[in-house]
Amino acid sequence: MIVITGDSHATRMREALSLLSETEQKDFKVKFGKLASAMLMPGRFFNKKFFREDNEGIVFTDEEASRIFNKITKNKGTIKRNDPRKFLFSMGFHAVTFLNNKCWSDFSIDPKSNKQYISKNAFIEMVKYNSRYTLKFLEKTKSLGVEFSVLMSPPPQRSFYLDRDKINKNFTESQYLLICETYRNTFANELNTLAIDIISPPDEAIKDGFLREEFASEKPGDFHSNIEFKMLYLKKLLTI
């Protein structure tokens, strides 16, 4: 079994699988077995402690996340040492909550900005602090000998930037792209330090650092991808 779960970018994966060709669906089943997938909770809730360790392994402490995880895993809600399941965790890479912080009306990581400059080292520490519980969860899961990868969220979307006044009033388009890329790269570097595998978005879905519009959500001001992007991700899993 493969379990794809985490933040809101983990939704609609079973639907995406059903839209692949019959051959691709069979190949997926041969490689991974059954697919279980659902969002545990929105990304902002990963900024507080959301798990605990017990004698058996790791369990989610958020009541709704625990309920959902138990449901999709048929009441096997503990991630155990040498767990036979493979996990894809969608968490940590999306910076929306971070970008919404009111500090960005006064601060910037762009040295050319007229705002107070935040150094690269200071920004790295901000990202690490913001991600501290996610990183600890992934580190603990790895220590149990569990097979898993972290699924990188979709690249930043130009349409999201243009539709969100709270975002575009604090960042130029290039600054928005810079802070998203720096955030994602910083989190990726932390995972690399922990020797945790990362699955990045398919190259064909990206143009000039942004998610191609044909893979963006149809909803105005939405930072999620559409079903076609999720299909691309599943196809990529078949090749790695």
Determine the residue type at 179: I
**95 pLDDT more than 90:** no
Give the integer Cα–Cα distance in Å for 3 and 10: 10
Residue 164 confidence (pLDDT): 79
Residue 121 confidence (pLDDT): 94
Residue 169 confidence (pLDDT): 85
State the average pLDDT for the chain.
93
Q: Which two tokens stand for residue 158?
A: 């130009």
Instruction: Pick the closest to residue 196 from 153, 146, 240 (CA basis).
Output: 146
**161 pLDDT more than 90:** no
- Chain-centroid distance of CA 233 in Å reads 13
Phi, psi of 2 (to 5 degrees): -120, 135
Residue 128 confidence (pLDDT): 95
Residue 202 confidence (pLDDT): 92
Domain count, the chain: 1
Instruction: Pick the closest to residue 51 from 141, 155, 161, 115 (CA basis).
Output: 141
**110 pLDDT more than 80:** yes
First to last CA, the chain: 17
Q: Tens digits of per-residue pLDDT, 133-159?
A: 999 999 999 999 999 999 999 999 888
Residue 189 confidence (pLDDT): 97
pTM of the model: 0.92
> In which band, very low, low, confident or very high, does the pLDDT at 210 lie, cut at 50, 70 and 90?
very high
Q: Tens digits of per-residue pLDDT, 179-206?
A: 999 999 999 999 999 999 999 999 999 9
**221 pLDDT more than 80:** no
Residue 127, CA atoms < 13 Å, CB-side half-sphere: 26
Q: The CATH number of the domain where 65 resides is what?
A: 3.40.50.1110
Specify the higher pLDDT residue, 216 or 31.
31
Q: Which domain holds residue 105?
A: 2-237
**96 pLDDT more than 90:** no
> In which band, very low, low, confident or very high, does the pLDDT at 98 lie, cut at 50, 70 and 90?
confident
Q: Tens digits of per-residue pLDDT, 23-75?
A: 999 999 999 999 999 999 998 889 999 999 999 999 999 999 999 999 999 98
Q: What is the mean pLDDT of residues 90-112?
A: 90
